[in-house]
Amino acid sequence: MTRAASPLLPMAYSDEVAAAKARDAPIVALESTIITHGMPYPGNLDMARSVERIIRDQGAVPATIAVLDGVLQIGLDSAKLEALAQTKGAMKLSRADLAFAIAERRTGATTVAATMIAAARAGIRVFATGGIGGVHRGAEDSFDVSADLDELSRTAVIVVCAGAKAILDIPKTLEVLETRGVPVVTYDSPAFPAFWSRDSGLKSPLMLNSPAAIANFQWVRDQLGVDGGMLIANPVPEENEIPRQEMEIYIRRALDNAERDEVSGKAVTPYLLDSLFRLTDGRSLATNIALVENNARLAAEIAVAMAD
Ligand code: PSU
Ligand code: MN
């Protein structure tokens, strides 16, 4: 059962999220592209369920966001989550086409950018994901820069991730975030993480080491009237990491495959993730799941700290 959020916009809250909103409980948004385009079934469903469980264990409520048959869902019940994890033709939605999917009654998964828009619309301020989109390698020719970066600069949601994937050009990604005024805060480590690896080789612009300090930083930003989001980069736990040098070998191969297959646009990120999954015999997926779980825990702690 879901409850309509607005008589005009087809937007529905799950019972659990509606109840959390009614009592002002901390809520953590979750994206769905990672479920439909980021991991194969059934690992994607296991991940989605375990991430929700972790958020509940921390005293917050998970709100997985997606568009199902034209309805913007804020929170998915168990049956809807399962259906989405098995859906084949879901659109991959960003700022450009989130409204299109609703208007045309389609089913689509939300990227970081679209999830931020939906979360802000629902009054949710913290969001956990795996990795953000960024500036792709070779962007000087392809102009492939994720809309996630623009969204971070304009929409007031705290995004907890494990850094940027090394399939991207991480120095350029950090430059764009700096230009757009997005705070990049690494959690409890001086090095900016590179998703599967704890260290990208680059120093993080900012560092904080408690959820309370992150909540306080956001409070000061609000008081100052500084709008837009911020990025919290949470390094993957040591026991789950794949070192950078090793990952780089697979990444080069995945990028070669993408070039050979002439992959472009929205298809690039899902293609590379799938290619890496094969090249690492599934190891990249295990690491991916561990880091999303780790991010969900931190995001819930931040949401709880912000509610205090
Ligand atoms: N990083 C991951 N898994 C993913 C994505 C990023 O580890 O599934 C998804 C996110 O939804 C992100 C999107 O917002 O890819 C970025 O896509 P693009 O590069 O096309 O903007
Ligand atoms: Mn792109």
Report the candidate in 106, 104, 128 with the shortest Cα–Cα distance to residue 34: 128
CB contact burial 278-304 (16+ within 10 A = b; e otherwise)? ebbeebbbbbbbbbbbbbbbbbbbbbb
Q: Which ligand is nearest to the CA of 236?
A: 1
Q: Tokens 């679209």 — which residue?
A: 114
List residues near ligand 1 (CB under 6 A).
Answer: 31, 33-34, 37-38, 111-112, 130-131, 133, 146-148, 165, 266, 269, 273
Check pLDDT > 60 for residue 5.
no
Is residue 31 part of the annotated active site? The answer reads yes
Q: Tens digit of pLDDT for each residue in 253-304? A: 999 999 999 999 999 989 998 999 999 998 988 999 999 999 999 999 999 9
Mean predicted lDDT score pLDDT of the chain: 95
Mean pLDDT of 138-167: 95
Assigned token pair, 234: 């949470």
**pLDDT classification of 8: cutoffs 50, 70, 90:** confident
> Averaged over 238-250, what is the pLDDT?
93
User: Which pLDDT score, from 0 to 100, does residue 251 have?
Assistant: 93
Q: Which residues of 22-34 are buried (b: 16+ CB within 10 A; e: fewer)?
A: eeebbbbbbbbbb
pLDDT in tens, 200-232: 999 999 999 999 999 999 999 999 999 999 999
Q: What are 28's strand-pairing partners? A: 62, 126
With beta carbons less than 8 A apart as the criterion, state whether 14 and 29 touch: no
Ordered domains of the chain (ranges, CATH): 2-307 (3.40.1790.10)
- Ion ligand 2 neighbours (CB, 5 A) are 144
What pLDDT shows up at residue 165?
86
For residues 243 and 198, give the distance between their C-alpha atoms in angstroms, rounded to a whole number: 8
From the CA of 265, give the closest atom in ligand 1: 20
Tell me the C-alpha distance between 152 and 164, whole Å: 14
Write down the catalytic residue from 16, 21, 31, 151: 31
DSSP letter for each residue of 10-58: -EEEEHHHHHHHHTT--EEEE-SHHHHTSS-TTHHHHHHHHHHHHHHHT
Q: How confident is the model at residue 7 (pLDDT cuts 50, 70, 90)?
A: low
Using 50, 70 and 90 to split pLDDT, how confident is the model at 3?
low
Inform me whether the pLDDT recorded for 60 exceeds 90: yes
pLDDT band at 308 (very low <50, low <70, confident <90, very high): confident
Amino acid symbol at 243: P
Q: Evaluate if residue 16 carries a pLDDT over 60.
A: yes
Q: From atom 19 of ligand 1, which residue's Cα is the shortest distance away?
A: 133
